[in-house]
Amino acid sequence: MSQFSAAVTPGRSLGFIVLGASLHDIVTRLKAEPQTFGKLELIYSPESPATEPVIVSLPTNGLRLRFDGPEQRLRLIEITDFSKSKLTYKNIDIVKPASPASPSASSIQDSPAGPTFKHIYNKLLAPSYPGDYVPPDANGEGKYGVYILSYPGIAFTFPVLDSTWNPDKDYATMLALPSTKPATSMAVFSGDSWLEAQKVLYDQMLEDPRSYSPPHKGKDVYPDEIGLVNIFGEGKLRLDRPWGASPFWLFLGQTTPQELVAELGPPDAIYRKSDQRMAIHKARAGSETQQTRPHLEPPTADDSTDTDASSIRTGTSVSEEDDSDSGSVDGKMSKECFYNYFYHGFDILVSPPTSPSRP
């Protein structure tokens, strides 16, 4: 298992993990690197998946990513264990590397330590405005409160011995005491301070993630996102883009696959209607009309299905996709397919042109 290494950009990103990126983009990139991200946990509300936040937890990397429910955009990046990833800020290690005289690697992992206040204050980010102190729960037995040291776009959490905390003293003096432990977590967010950002964490308008580095598109063209689909009737749809680009008009029965690819980019996957997995529905329909066991035709060479792994940005033109179906037994049905645009959040059924039936 290789260690995740990334540069921290406050208010923007942790390596390729960019605030504002979609859940699909981030998960696709994480799953493409199993040697680095060995375990991925997706936490969401089954009752309200489209309104409640979605959390992607990466326990082997000490990371936690929070997405809003309606748009599934990354809103918060949390580092919960500094020992499991190598993080830098302006080419400076956020956690000092262990010296040869330090305890063994195994003991370090058993007792992970984050950056000290002095390291952050003197080496990384310099002075800051006073943060917020949260005392321990009055009903609990904890001796440590929590101090949140906040900078624009980034914040650190420090356990502070409650008996030593004095609100009348300078916070830098309090955090520099030997009883104050190293930071236990770090957050990357959009906003000037964590106190203000958490109030609008899932509601604020984010910048176009393309203004940073795209999560996983590589050399491919990064298509303009579709933020709203307006249905006007009579097969007319207007696809609006959220960051100022001109809308795309889609006309059912007229817009060509080439126009779809030019405006929306290549589909993330292609699902053919001739896929044999659809045969279960044919079998059910047959059982309702006859008592004999339904006969399923063996798959032909054209009964193939493009999956997410095989179709993502392969560079195959749409005309080549159509030509591959020229020998299909089922004719038109074999050429019908769904363009799956996971990135945009919708699918489009593409089929050959047909002549209108006579009245």
Q: What is the pTM of this model?
A: 0.71
* C-alpha torsion angle, residues 296, 297, 299, 305 (rounded to 10): -60
Task: Please count the other Cβ atoms lying within 10 Å of the Cβ belonging to residue 175.
Answer: 22
Query: Are residues 237 and 229 in contact, defined by beta-carbon separation less than 8 angstroms?
Result: yes
Please give the pLDDT value at position 320.
Answer: 42
Ranked by mean pLDDT, the top range of 81-95, 96-110, 130-144, 328-342 is 81-95
Residue 98 has pLDDT above 70, yes or no: no
Higher pLDDT: 111 or 281? It is 281
**What is the average pLDDT across 244-257?**
89
- Which of the four pLDDT bands, split at 50, 70 and 90, describes residue 85? very high
Q: What are phi and psi of 195, to 5 degrees?
A: -60, -40
Provide the percentage of residues in the chain whose pLDDT is more than 90: 43
pLDDT surpasses 70 at 283:
no
Q: Which helix (H) or strand (E) holds 283?
A: helix 279-289
pLDDT at residue 265 is higher than 60: yes
- Other beta carbons within 10 angstroms of residue 160's beta carbon come to 25
The Cβ-side half-sphere exposure at 3, using a 13 Å CA radius, reads 9
Rounded to whole angstroms, the Cα distance separating 337 from 354 reads 15
Lowest mean pLDDT among 28-32, 199-203, 266-270, 343-347: 343-347
Span 46-84, pLDDT tens digits: 999 889 999 999 999 999 999 999 888 999 999 999 999
Contacts of 59 (CB under 8 A, 6+ apart): 39, 41
Query: What is the SS3 assignment for 37-79?
Result: CCCCEEECCCCCCCCCCEEEEECCCCEEEEECCCCCEEEEEEE
Nearest 10 degrees: Cα torsion 70, 73, 77, 81: 70
Average pLDDT of 335-354? 86
Instruction: Please determine, for residue 348, whether its predicted confidence score (pLDDT) is greater than 60.
Output: yes
Angle at 312 between CA 310 and CA 313, to 5 degrees: 120
Domain ranges of the chain: 4-211, 228-293+300-350
- Which has the closest alpha carbon to 154: 87, 91, 208? 87
Q: What is the pLDDT of residues 137-183, one digit of tens each?
A: 876 567 899 999 999 999 999 999 988 888 888 888 888 888 889 99
pLDDT of residue 141: 65
- The pLDDT value given to residue 323: 45
Nearest CA to 178 among 190, 191, 160, 192?
A: 160
Helices (H) and strands (E) counted in the chain, each on its own, are 10, 19
